[in-house]
Structures are given as C-alpha cells and as structure tokens.
Amino acid sequence: MCINCTSGNSLQFWKVKVRINLRIGPGDSEALRRNLRGVWTGPLEGLSRRAFGDSELADAMVSDLAEDYAAEGELVDRLLAEKAFEKGPVLVAEGEAEALLRACSAIRLALREGPLGEVPDEALEAGEAEDWLTGRGVREAFACYLFFAALQEHIIHGLDPAVHEGLAGLDGGGEDGAPGGPEEAE
C-alpha cells in the first residue's frame, strides 16, 4: 500500500475544512473495507460499564457510544466506498474530520482486539510487527492498522499543526510507525 500526502486546513464558505491528501493505490479501498468487516465493535463499552457501574446512567452512556460507533463506521465506509483516498485529496468539514479521527482509533482498537490479538503490544506500538505477520489475514489487518494511523496523523496535522511540535524524538521518536507522515500544511 502506498501512502503519501500533505495535509492542512482551509477556509471555504466560512467553514473550516480539513484537506487530507492521503493517497492509496487502486483497489486498496476495497481491501480496507474487507478488513473492516466484523471488526467494528465497541471495545470501550466494558470500560464505560466499569466507570459508571450497572446503572441507568451507564446504559445511556453505552447507548450513546454505540450511536457514535455506528455514525463513525458509516463515515469511514462511505469514504472507502467512494474510493476517496484513491482519487486524491479528501476535503472534510472540521466536525467530520473529528469523527474520522475517532473512527480511526475505534478501528485500530478493534483490530488489536481481533486479528492482531497475537501481536505483542510493544511491536504494535513500534509499528514493527513483521515477525508476527504469519498469514495473509494478519498482514492485511496490520496494513489496515498502519493506514488508519497515517490517516489520523494527517487529520491531526490539518486540524492542529501545533500538536506535532515537540513530539518528534520522544521515547525513540516512533509514533506507531505510521507511514507517510504529514508534510507542510497547505
């Protein structure tokens, strides 16, 4: 999978738009969609229950999270179905960019719980999991994992470039081995 891009934000019609120029190859959108089937779960539901106990409040919180997951999943699926990242820069409104960011995290958490469950956390964190990528399914899941990390990096750069300042070089400098780091904002 080839990932390369520049990202930034621009004002259009008085609304902040985030420009994501994250290109993937022909057919990669479908491969990503295929890998997302069945992984779209709510890994934080348990944590929500733990935080709020077994109460009506907890039920409301979990239900709210489930709605978020569904909306974020639809957004990702729509962009992949439109092959948006194969065609060129993707322009999204700020709120949509935030939803996309959260979706990336949800997907990565779900991949870690599912097909990447055998990969040690340290290898995932460093983005160096080759030794554990034994089958095609796991390799594709890992590529998917890295794609959504790269997508997050570019959205963050578009939303708030200051976030990345000072992070390079921390604890070895690795940010999950996310490929195709953002370049200068346009």
Using the rule CB under 8 A, is 57 a contact of other proteins? yes
Using the rule CB under 8 A, is 178 a contact of other proteins? yes
Using the rule CB under 8 A, is 170 a contact of other proteins? yes
Residue closer to other proteins, measured from CB, 167 or 185 = 167
Nearest Cα neighbor of 30 from 66, 80, 79 is: 80
Using the rule CB under 8 A, is 184 a contact of other proteins? no
How many residues lie near other proteins (CB under 8 A)? 41
Q: How far is 177 from 173, CA to CA, in rounded Å?
A: 9
Q: How far is 140 from 1, CA to CA, in rounded Å?
A: 10
Sign of the torsion formed by the C-alpha atoms of 84, 5, 108 and 142: positive
Among residues 7, 9, 35, 152, which is the contact residue for other proteins, using CB under 8 A? 152
Q: How far is 50 from 59, CA to CA, in rounded Å?
A: 12
Assess contact for 127 and 146: CB atoms under 8 A: yes
DSSP-derived 3-state class of residue 81: helix
Assess contact for 25 and 87: CB atoms under 8 A: no
Among residues 124, 133, 138, 144, which is the contact residue for other proteins, using CB under 8 A? 124
Using the rule CB under 8 A, is 106 a contact of other proteins? yes
Site for other proteins in 64-103 (CB under 8 A): 64-65, 68, 98, 101-102
* Residue ranges in contact with other proteins by CB under 8 A: 43-44, 47-48, 50-52, 57, 61, 64-65, 68, 98, 101-102, 105-106, 108-109, 112, 121-122, 124-125, 149, 152-153, 156, 159-160, 162-167, 170-171, 175-176, 178
